[in-house]
Amino acid sequence: MRQHLALLAAALVLPSCRKEESASPAAPPLPPSTSTALVLEHHVDGAQLAFDTISYVNEAGHAFSVTRLEYYVSEIILRGADCCGTPDHVIPGPFYINGTMSNRFELGTLPAGEYTGATLLLGLPASLNVTGALPNTMSNVNMAWPDMMGGGYHFMKFEGHFLNGTTPTGYAMHIGRNENLPVCDMPQSFALHGQAGTLTLRFNLNEVFRDPHTYDLPSGSYSMGSMMLMGLLKDNCANAFTISHQPA
């Protein structure tokens, strides 16, 4: 008898529980993401960068490889179009870039508008180009510029080998010191619509050797310590990047 009463009680309670569960309000749908990712890509005149192979040819006709590529990007200024009332937008950075890694950074939501292009610093602004100004990470420590040469940080380390005649010879294109900070112009226009997407910066390494100075690796294979050579590289890097935006 007791068992029958228990089953009857359960039968009366269970429908009541199911009713309460079905009455719970459904969770509201998540709003769509509007975040933009910044991605850095590297190529040599359109060929995707591959490390440790002498398979590229620069403007002076020297075959070369890339064994190391590290640099900073900072103060990316998106130029707003006057015609559309879009103000400039600054992405301060800095971003440490290593060519052997995936270089992707979340920027959050960028202002919608029409943009006529952008500029960036290939390196660090003077306020950060001071020894100890950046967090004490292994990457930043390895980018330190010697105190006896002025301190601060390398803006770029671009290293590899080139064929000097038939002899593989090392090179190191290092840039540092405020006087040699490259300001890179990217005149490609794009639009942002307040939606998720990707802002892609592409670095053509052959531009480092091309314009306005045809860089001669045999006569300047190590730039660090030469203000003249770093000045040539600064000029050449000014048009080494392009920018584009891809909606998600």
pLDDT of residue 181: 98
Distance CA 245, CA 201 (A): 9
Among 63-72, 83-92, 134-143, the least confident range: 83-92
> Nearest to residue 118, comparing CAs of 186, 202, 209?
186
Model pLDDT for residues 102-112, shown as the tens digit of each residue: 999 999 999 99
The confidence band for 17, taking pLDDT boundaries of 50, 70 and 90, is very low
Bigger pLDDT: 169 or 7?
169
Q: What percent of the chain has pLDDT over 90?
A: 83
Task: Inform me whether the pLDDT recorded for 93 exceeds 90.
Answer: yes
pLDDT of residue 23: 66
> Nearest to residue 125, comparing CAs of 95, 159, 80?
95
- Looking from the CA of 203 toward its CB, the CA atoms found within 13 Å total 25
pTM: 0.87
pLDDT of residue 22: 58
Bigger pLDDT: 25 or 174?
174
